[in-house]
A and B are shown apart, each in its own frame.
Chain A
Amino acid sequence: MLAAALAAPPALARDASVRLNDALRLEWRGDNANRRTDDDDYGVVVNKLDVAGSAGDLTAEARVDAVEVVGAPTDDFQDDARLERLTARYPLGDLTLTAGDFYRQIGRGIALSLRKVDDLGVDVGLRGGRLEYATGDAQVDAFVGRTNSVNLDPVSQHFTADPEDVVVGASARVARLGPAAVSAWAVQITNEHRPVSDQEFPDRSNTVGGALELTDLLEAVTVYAEYDLQQVRDTDAVNTAQAAYASLDVYLGDWSVLAEGLWLDDFRQQGSPNAALDTDFDYNQPPTLERIDQEVLNTTHALGGRLRIERSLLDGDLVAHANGLFKHTDPGTCTRVAQVHGFAGVEWLFQGGSSRLNASGGYRDERADPVASDCVGAVPEARRIKSMAHGELDYVQHLTGRWSLHLTSLNEARTLDDADYLRGSTLVGVDVAQTGALSFEYGFDTQNQAPGVRNHFFAGIAAWHAQSWLQARAVIGTQRGGIKCVAGICRDFPEFAGARLELIGRHDLGG
């Protein structure tokens, strides 16, 4: 596909351009020793071709995804090829018209967050239209579309049907009201494929919300406050939900303090079922108060806050930070969980920025903490569900010229229902700027000690900048699985055993 694209004639009108970006992945998965056979011994070829073009003021993008599975172990794997994304944009003065596929987020992601999270294979957009009016100080938009998910789940390699829920919304934002910016929005989501088919009305949620932001008050304080109110009709019952988020940033010279709070009262932008994940799509992504990589127990019903203190030293080359978080999930219920997480770290750039050392560590504790003594299973004292002590290191030592050494290590000592286990990965490598990198990775996970389950993982990784337009990356060996999270979205990755080759190429046409 890439070769065909590269062979395309480059004769385009002046000021017209076409940019091609192709990612090809060849993968063979052997026995990953997880005592399951439905994810072993198959091959997969995935190609994603992105085409972005412009002519005058008109811009357009398209993506074609194709997958071929060799020796599929179950029927959940499907060969597929389709036009996954198609978008055109045209500005008319301060107006911009968008037709096709686009992403949309509102506020801090509580009311709506349709976006792409590549690491987790999450990619849900809207297929429809958007009209946006924007000047320097004011923005207004209205949009409507059906949700369109990427159809190949890159984690399970399974096929996922589009949810096609209908999303209609509008938002307005006015900035520079002194130091203030004010926003307001409304979103309606109608689910198309709910499990109960004989209900009188389709499931639907109506959300309205607004935010106030005060930026750089006295050049030292930034405040953000948001509130969302939702009416949900679910299987003919109508409920009300609320959400609020606020943050306060204070900068005092080289010191800064962040205080933020979150309240989610059964607030969820729920979509139709996602067959690949055996759960429903979520169309929002509230702040988590956590580090971006942390598992989040509940993004629907929570109350908590975080305090972060940071100190910048050496003209910004050394930054030290400490964080404390307390959160209740399912507050006020018999399933309430109290979560505490404290962590701290430093980020240091040295040798004029050519070398870096980032180190952090912390402790997280979660306890079942029923609100009332009459709850089933309630005990006088909170019972620990799980805990985790964690440490992270990212160290790059510049050697000479284009050469540097790289060490990355993430390690966790976990307790789950009084069972202790260890989990971690360490990657050691050599980086050569503009050429590539060679790395060796060792991982371990001692949670499952059953016979035949792999607990230690070894992989070799090579990355090569073959040409200015072509990159290659190869992995061979075994890599540990487990839950991986990005900003509150978590996926359970299977262990990997096999070989993977990724090629990313790009080419520009026109002039």
Chain B
Amino acid sequence: MKHVFLTGLALAAWLAAAPAAALESTPPAERTTVADFALERLDGGRATLSAYRGQVVVLTFWATWCQPCKQELPFLSRFDAADARVTVLAINTDGPETRSQVRRLVRSKKLEMPILLDSEGNVTQRLNPRKQMPLTLFLDGEGRLAATKDGFASGDEVAIEALLKQLVAEVAPPGGDAAQAGPAGKAGEGGGAAGRGKAAPAGEAAPGPASAPTAPK
């Protein structure tokens, strides 16, 4: 028992002293392009990744049974709503038999971002082959992979926000004309689309009126 206690103590000390694997972006010259894909949207129609070129795109893989995912999604929804240059595509990996649970969770948590459905897992297999939940990919304005984040723990939201600021600055340097749209300037998932005004990305059939100008690039 004494050995177990000492081992635990040593590990705790290591955890306290271990450096954080900071959420940092890869230098632009070393980033790789994420191949395009198309997925069904929860609110109908299809979404393609390439339609969001010019924006910072956050791809997050989640499932209804994943508690850390359900903690992370509201943060990501806020980041999505706060800046027209950031789009969060939340890729749900549940099976089709739980589709109504997905719809209800999105409504009850008032998630505003587009929800994409990959119940077959073909996109997940390519971008998240170990099916880690959540797994979040950060793409720069040119559709290149800038960073990857495994899991979600309290405190990660601070690092995510800092990373997004950095990537947004690459898209539109401070002082540029890419004004932030604010929470009312987005169009994402079904229920809130009509009032949120962010136009459907190029080539994508999004539901509801899409009369607002395309997000600044």
Contacts and interface: CB of A to CB of B under 8 A. Distances in A.
A319 B121 contact: no
Given A102-B122, A316-B74, A435 B131 contact: no
B159 A438 contact: no
A433 B156 contact: yes
Contacts of B71: 349, 353, 356, 396
Contacts of B190: 215-216
Interface residues of B, number: 73
B31 A511 contact: yes
Contacts of A292: 64-65, 98
A364 interface: no
12 contacts: A57-B36, A115-B95, A116-B125, A137-B205, A216-B191, A224-B99, A353-B75, A354-B157, A355-B154, A435-B15, A435-B21, A511-B33
A105 B121 CA distance: 10
B150 A15 contact: no
Contacts of A494: none
Interface of B: 4, 7-8, 11-12, 15-16, 18-24, 26, 29-36, 38, 43-46, 64-65, 67, 70-71, 74-75, 95-100, 103-104, 107-110, 119-122, 125-127, 129-132, 144-145, 147-148, 150, 153-157, 159, 190-191, 204-205
A432 interface: yes
Contact of A61 (B19, B126, B155, B205): B126
B95 A354 contact: no
Given A224-B99, A249-B104, A487-B98, A52 B126 contact: yes
Contacts of A315: 110
B121 to A, nearest CB: 5
Given A21-B129, A109-B97, A433-B156, 10 more contacts: A17-B34, A23-B130, A61-B125, A247-B100, A251-B107, A319-B108, A394-B67, A435-B20, A465-B150, A508-B145
A401 interface: yes
B43 A487 contact: no
Interface residues of A, number: 103
A418 to B, nearest CB: 32
A434 B20 contact: yes
Contacts of A181: 44
A434 B151 CA distance: 9
A54 B154 contact: no
Contacts of B144: 511
B154 A431 contact: yes
Interface stretch (A150-158, A190-198, A280-288): A280-288
A439 to B, nearest CB: 10
A433 B153 contact: yes
B74 A462 contact: no
A468 B22 contact: yes
A104 interface: yes
A59 B24 contact: no
Contact of A115 (B46, B75, B119, B132): B119
B153 A258 contact: no
B130 A21 contact: yes
B148 A404 contact: no
A77 B120 CA distance: 30
B130 A105 contact: no
A300 to B, nearest CB: 15
Contacts of A113: 95-97
A468 B148 contact: yes
Contacts of A23: 130
> Which of B75, B109, B120, B191 counts the most A-chain CB atoms under 10 A from its CB?
B120
Interface in A79-97: 85, 87, 91, 96
A436 interface: yes
A438 B154 contact: no
A134 B46 contact: yes
Interface string A450-470: 000000000010101111100
A310 interface: yes
